[in-house]
Structure 1
């Protein structure tokens, strides 16, 4: 299964820097294990569609809403789950190959790839560089903490993974206005598919100020 998934990610071209570290490599960090190696779909071994709500907010711009769908279906052998994603729409849409016999929830890959493509569209930087920085930050600069979420009217335990991949980027002058972007991933076994929320946030100019921009993907409570 892991070899098959790695082959798919290599075919995508966009994702090996996220999901498959270059060999040889040190043991994976706690953040890497949680985000890229966890069996997120362990509690969802049946055909269904996972729905996520997307909200984008930025200073001086109208609020944008959209959605992402992760569809789980039985594969050729009759086992779940083969995975197909429909991620956002219009210029923000991300199309990736379907993943057979998936274990991890690919909504994480869709979100991160969407962020990379946004950075490439809005800066003078290159997508390959942004992918490398994000991937490396999970290995050597991520923080992992315990948190809680509210799901189905109850409080449930969760893990929060945070990265700020561009703070010490030697090329940050090329995209200085976005280099402070932080990413947060909230994982919980309480929600179908194991991924509760993903967020990109550009902090305000002063401590305690409202974020200048945020993009949040949260699992729909109707799942």
Structure 2
């Protein structure tokens, strides 16, 4: 289990270049210049989400899952920030429970909020479990959609009894997947990532939404992780 966790974390971090989730990640050897990252990549994978949270504490999130014909599921996630040898913050995640749990290695001297990794990895594992597809393919499609198919818009969220600025990143990574016929019932899933510098940890909400079968129909499924409180 530990080895699998290390591998999947490495897979996401390898996709996020340059990584900010761990300040201590090894520096790559010189290579030909890569294309400039998209706005969505910068916001999701290169932003210093924890810039406003550089002290020990906890970021708490509430998870809600709803699907047609199934009971509503609620759970929680806690990202714990602690004082490390080089200062704050080393990060440990307790992400959901039971079959939904995702266990990843602790990250020393984190800069990006790893709740993004936990949520996306949870989605990848769910797709792998329900479709018998390959985790690497789903990770790659999500990452590539942030490169060339994401939309980024300005919005506001309600936080601390007032409206604060936020950025909304939206992707539909499997809309044009050449293999979507193998998991057609889930290929229309859309993901949104709601970020705000006014929120401790910088990440307010992540959501996966499977739209209704027709225009105006209720969503067939949704999975939402929303910041609840801090201490």
After TM superposition, the score normalised by the length of structure 2 is: 0.88
Pair 1:160–1:9, CA change in 2 (3 A): farther
Decide whether the 8 Å contact of 1:18 with 1:135 is kept in 2: yes
The residue that corresponds to 1:171 in the other structure is 179
Q: Distance in 2 between matches of 1:165 and 1:179?
A: 8
1:202 maps onto 2:199 in alignment: no
1:107 maps onto 2:115 in alignment: yes
Question: 1:143-181: per-residue Cα shift (whole Å, max 9, x none)?
Answer: 000010000110000000000000000000110000000
Gap regions ≥5 residues in structure 1 = 1-7
The residue that corresponds to 2:9 in the other structure is 12
1:141 Cα deviation (Å)? 0.3
- The equivalent position to 1:29 in structure 2, one of 12, 17, 38, is 38
1:43 maps onto 2:52 in alignment: yes
1:124 Cα deviation (Å)? 2.7
Aligned residues: 215
Map 1:53-72 to 2 at 5 A: 53-72=62-81
1:26 Cα deviation (Å)? 1.1
Pair 1:210–1:42, CA change in 2 (3 A): same
The residue that corresponds to 2:126 in the other structure is 118
The residue that corresponds to 2:94 in the other structure is 86
Q: Distance in 2 between matches of 1:12 and 1:197?
A: 20
Q: Distance in 2 between matches of 1:157 and 1:171?
A: 38
Pair 1:47–1:221, CA change in 2 (3 A): closer
Pair 1:29–1:183, CA change in 2 (3 A): same
1:9 Cα deviation (Å)? 6.9
Name the SS of the counterpart of 2:185 in structure 1. helix
1:183 maps onto 2:191 in alignment: yes
Pair 1:93–1:10, CA change in 2 (3 A): closer
Gap regions ≥5 residues in structure 2 = 19-30
Bigger mean CA deviation after superposition, 9-18 or 178-187: 9-18
Q: Distance in 2 between matches of 1:207 and 1:98?
A: 43
Pair 1:93–1:152, CA change in 2 (3 A): same
Question: Runs (4+) of structure 1 moved beyond 3 Å?
Answer: 8-14
CA RMSD of aligned residues (A): 1.9
Map 1:125-164 to 2 at 5 A: 125-164=133-172
Question: 1:90-132: per-residue Cα shift (whole Å, max 9, x none)?
Answer: 1111111111111100000000000000000000311110000
1:16 Cα deviation (Å)? 3.7
After TM superposition, the score normalised by the length of structure 1 is: 0.91
Pair 1:69–1:116, CA change in 2 (3 A): same
1:17 Cα deviation (Å)? 5.5
1:56 Cα deviation (Å)? 0.1
